[in-house]
Each structure stands twice: as structure tokens, then as C-alpha cells.
Structure 1
Amino acid sequence: MTLEYDSTNPTLINSVVCFIDILGFQSLGLEAIKKGKGNEFLRDLHVSLTEAKKSLTPYTHLSAKVKVFTDNVVIGWPIFQDGEGELGNTFFNLSEYQFSLALNGYFIRGGISVGEHFMDEETVFGPALFKSYELESKVAIYPRITLSAESKENVERYLSFYSNKKDSPFYTEVLEDMDGEWFLNYLHILIDRFEEEIDENDYTPLYPYLKEHKHKIEESLNKYAGNYKLLKKYAWIANYHNYFCDEFIPRSDNFKISSPIKMSYPRRIL
């Protein structure tokens, strides 16, 4: 059984809600237009977003709704029962989306909340949407998807379902940042993808993706070397990339990034 948003009787439903956008999208577009490369940028963006969107709606039978307006995405997923499945699947799908765009040089930030929400083709409304937007615009700051207090409370409750909390998928899907904010550990999607092909002695299937991820970050670090405000945002993602290599991928020093701004590593939520 699932709950669905009903356009014939718009009603707020307890939902998992996410709002995300592409970091620096306007400046990227204006720069491309200024250089006479507007069409080239448009085509690249269109291909990247079209491919990435597949990960947001992998199953047509689900009640989740997605609205996309170029660089802005809103996801609403009505919660049935305790919501563990809806929140867990949202984390997984968003990690796929975030990683797919990162490999194309587009880094995103956003917020995930849990609460009352409604959406259909014409309308998106509810306190959970407002909270998700606030997280994206005021809290995320860096290219990360952060969790609301309600989302964190739900994750902590789901962790309690396990006799060993480290057996829960949330233990690897979510990290706590240096400022105390929880965010999606999207690079872990690599380990999920290649779970059957890797072991503690062989992570080689992941290496091409780590190499490309590193390359895209280094391009941005070089591009914004003279703009400290933007440089700091890409230094954050370089720091996260390096943390992931150290924490999850043995013998991955060759894939780490030399960042001009040093930051403290994030940490596990337990």
C-alpha cells in the first residue's frame, strides 16, 4: 500500500521532501554565453540533467513526485508507516543524482526534510518544502545535501532498530560535517554499485570514477583560484573527496586532491 498526492483533493501529507540546485549555475551559464558558448553549455547541461534525472525516478510505480526546472529539483515522497523506506530510498536516489552530475562537473547543494507536503503538476506547497529550501539556501553553503532536524531524528530512530547500529545503511549514507550539519555521503554510492565486484583487497572497479571525480574538482579549484568565496566551496568538496578516500577506499592516495584551503574532515554519525 502507498499514499499518493491527490490533485482532486489537495491535502498535506507527511512526506520526505528535498530541494536541490546546482552550485553557481547562473554564473556558469552567463560565462558560457559571454564566451559565445551558450549552445554548447546548454547541450552539455541538457544531457547531464537528463541522464542524472533517471536516478531520481528509477521505478514508475512509486508514489514519489519530482519537479525539475533546469537547475532546481523538488522531490516529494508520501510516507507510509514508519518512513524508513522512503527516507532510505531518497538518500540512495539523491546520491546517484549528485554523483552523476559531479562527474559532469556540476556540483549540487540541497536540503532534505520530513513533514507536511503536497505536490502535483501545478502546485508544490507545504512546510517541509519551505524547510528544505531554507536548508539549501542558508545552511548547505557547500556542495552538500543537508538534513533537517526532523530528518536526523528519523535517522536516529531507524538506527535504533538495529542491534548493531553500524549494520544500518544509514551509518554509511550520512556523515556529520565539521559544523555539526549532517549530509549525504554520496560517494558511497560507488561501493553500493560495485558491491559484488570489490573486496577488502581489490577496489579497482572504483578507481576510474574516483579519478574522474578528482579531475572535475581540480578543474573547479583551478578555475576559481582567484575567487576565495567560490574557491572555498570547491575546497570543501575536495576535502570530502579526500576523506572518502581515507575512510572507505584502501590504497587510494593517488586519487586524493591537493587543496589550497585546509578543512577538518567530516565524521561518522556514531
Structure 2
Amino acid sequence: MTSETTYVHAALLDVLGYRHRLSQDRQSGSLDFKDALQRAMTVLSNFNEAEFSYQAISDTIIVTCARRDGFVELLKVLKKVVLGFLAEGLFVRGGVTYSPHFKSSHVTYSHALAVAHELESKTAIYPRVVIDHNILEMFKVANETKSITDAELICERNGVHFLNIIDPDNWAQAYKWAREMFAREKTFLLRKEQEFLKHSWFEEYLFNSPHRKPDVERYIPTMTLLRPDPPLPSARPPTTEPVAAMQEFAQRAGGLRPSTPLPSRKTKANSRNKKRKQLP
């Protein structure tokens, strides 16, 4: 490593559903997805570039902070970015780490981005931004965790720490955005379990938040037990008499008038007996 290589907090974010939305634009001949990306990215334009740097390439967004004590501020930036994309109907998944990083106009050499990418692709799984546990250990050893816990920007489950984007003021809005996104994509999600799981996890995240509204219902249907289909309604009750059934068929086909009964076997036998009696 050169002397110019420094440790930075680095976040690598992946915009989920990028190819699907791009395909929709190609098929419809519109620029809706491009416009949504531009609106979401305006959040980054208001940040202090002296503290944070960012770049966006296709479906990937990279945000770095060179200040060791800028970790909480970086999380606040990422929270705004994730919410900005959610407002445009887009989920974001990512990873955050603190590792060596070097970038010039020609070369990017970064352990930080490699680790962040690994967290995003292998650990995050759902629409969340996973935080390297080594960052928390670093601040814990230095007894500097109070500012982190006070900010309430980190959740933990099963030993995995990830960015908390929900607070008392935005729960209802985040719920509305997520619900609208699911409603738009419901048909596309049918039988696509990996994509469906992202929505299911995010709903679970919302309703596990201490800031959830008690009178709000879930928007994803729960599992149901398979039941037999109801019987189809019959136009008229079926008849059990074979002669009546034949008459009904003939009437529909136009072969017999309603007043013309079909001769039964007994009628035919009586007719033959009468003819025999009339013979000399």
C-alpha cells in the first residue's frame, strides 16, 4: 500500500429491481425509471462534499467518509438515500465497512469497497444496509458507542447489524411508499419468491418497529390453507329420468317438439301385439 492509502467508512448500495425497471422503460418507450433515479439521487446533491464523496454507476452507489468520527453522520446520509429511493418505489440493499481505500483520477484500490460489496451481496439479502460488526467493535473498544446508540440508527437481528431508516416521524410515510410499491408490482411478483421475499421482509421490518401505528393493517396477504373450489352453479337441476333427458336433448337440438313424447319400450310392444291380433 502507498502512503496515500487511508482508512475510510465506505458504503456500497445496490438499487434492487434495476434491470426490471429498465426493461419496462424499453418496452414502453418511456423514461420513467431514469426520472425516478434522478429524483432519488437529488438527495445526495445536498451533502457536504468536503466530508462525503459519492459516485453512481448503473445500479451501484458508493458513498465514502474519510473521518473516523463521521460514522453516525454517514448513517444519517444513508438513511436519507434509502428513503429517497423508497419514495420512488425502489428498494436499496447495501453494506458499510471501515477499511483501507485509495482513489485517484485513474485508479481505485479499495479493501473497503470489496468488503462492502461482500456484505451487500452475501449478507444483506433483503432490502437493508448491513453494517460491518468490526466497526461497532472498534468503537466499543474505544468506549465510543454512546453517540451511536443515542442516534437509534442501527438494528440487530441474529447477530447482523443493519441501518434503521424508521423513526416516529416517518413510519406512516414509509409504510405508504412500501404498500404502494407492492400494489404496483403484485402481478410481477406472482411465483417469483426471491423478489416477493424482499417485500415480505420489509413489511415485517415495518411492523416490528417500535414506531408502528397500532391501527394500520398489513398489506401483504398471509398464508392460506388450500380449499376445494366451490361447485359451479347449474343452469337447471339435472334429471334422473333417461326418457326426460332424451326429450330435453332433442328439444335443444330441434329434433322434437315439446308436445311430441318419445315412445317407450312398453308402448312399442303393445303396438306390435295389436298388429298381430288384427292378422286373419
Q: TM-score, normalised by structure 1?
A: 0.71
User: Is 2:189 the counterpart of 1:224?
Assistant: yes
| Closer/same/farther in 2, CA of residues 48 and 159 from structure 1, 3 Å limit | farther
Report which structure shows greater RCO (CA 8 Å, sep ≥6): 1
1:217, 1:109 → 2: CA distance? 17
Quickly say closer, same or farther: Cα 1:209–1:127, change in 2 above 3 A: closer
User: In the alignment, which residue of structure 1 is the partner of 2:154?
Assistant: 174
Could you tell me how far apart the structure 1 residues matched to 2:109 and 2:75 are? 21
Distance 1:222 1:152, change over 3 A: farther
Partner of 1:266: none
5 Å-filtered alignment, 1:50-129, equals 50-79=38-67, 83-84=68-69, 86-129=70-113
Structure 1, residues 208-230: CA drift from partner, whole Å, max 9, x if none? 55323322234335531211122
Structure 2 equivalent of residue 132 of structure 1:
116
Q: Which one of 21, 24, 38 corresponds to residue 14 of structure 2?
A: 21
CA displacement, residues 14-53 of structure 1 (integer Å, 9 cap, x when unaligned): 10001111113123323443xx22x42xx33333332322
Partner Cα separation in structure 1 for residue 182 and residue 212 of structure 2: 18
User: Which consecutive unaligned segments of at least 5 residues does structure 1 have?
Assistant: 1-8, 195-204, 262-270
What is the letter of the counterpart of residue 248 of structure 1? Answer: H
Distance 1:165 1:131, change over 3 A: closer
Q: Which residue of 1 aligns with 2:175?
A: 210
Over 3 Å counting, the alpha-carbon distance change for 1:238 and 1:69 in structure 2 is same
- Partner SS for 1:111: strand
Unaligned runs of 5+ in 2: 224-280
- Alignment check: 8 A CA contact 1:17 1:77 kept: yes
Contact 2:11 2:95 (8 Å CA) reproduced? yes
Deviation at 1:59, TM superposition (A): 3.3
Matched residues in 2 for 1:165 and 1:20: separation? Answer: 21
Q: CA deviation at 1:234?
A: 1.6
What are the Cα deviations for residues 155-210 of structure 1, in whole angstroms up to 9, with x where unaligned? 54587554x985x11xx211013x4211111123xx4xx5xxxxxxxxxx864553
Change (3 A) 1:68 1:135: same
- Give the whole-Å Cα distance in 2 for the aligned partners of 1:187 and 1:158: 28
CA contact 1:238–1:259 (8 Å) conserved in 2? no
Distance 1:183 1:222, change over 3 A: farther
The percentage of counterpart residues that share the same residue type is 18
Distance 1:120 1:53 in 2: 23
Q: Shift of residue 124 of structure 1? A: 2.7
1:64 CA displacement: 1.9
Question: Is 1:257 aligned with 2:219?
Answer: yes
Find the aligned partners of 1:217 and 1:174 in 2 and give their Cα distance: 25
Distance 2:145 2:172 in 1: 34
Q: In structure 2, the residue corresponding to 1:175 is in which secondary structure?
A: strand
After TM superposition, give the deviation of residue 257 of structure 1 in Å. 2.8
State which drifts further: 138-147 or 18-27: 18-27
Cα displacement (A) at 1:89: 1.2
CA–CA distance in structure 2, aligned partners of residues 222 and 155 of structure 1 = 45
Q: Deviations over 1:85-143 (max 9, x none)?
A: x1111111111111111121110101000011122444332111100011111111111
TM-score between both structures, scaled by the size of structure 2: 0.69
Residue pair 1:68, 1:74 contacting (<8 A) in 2 also: yes
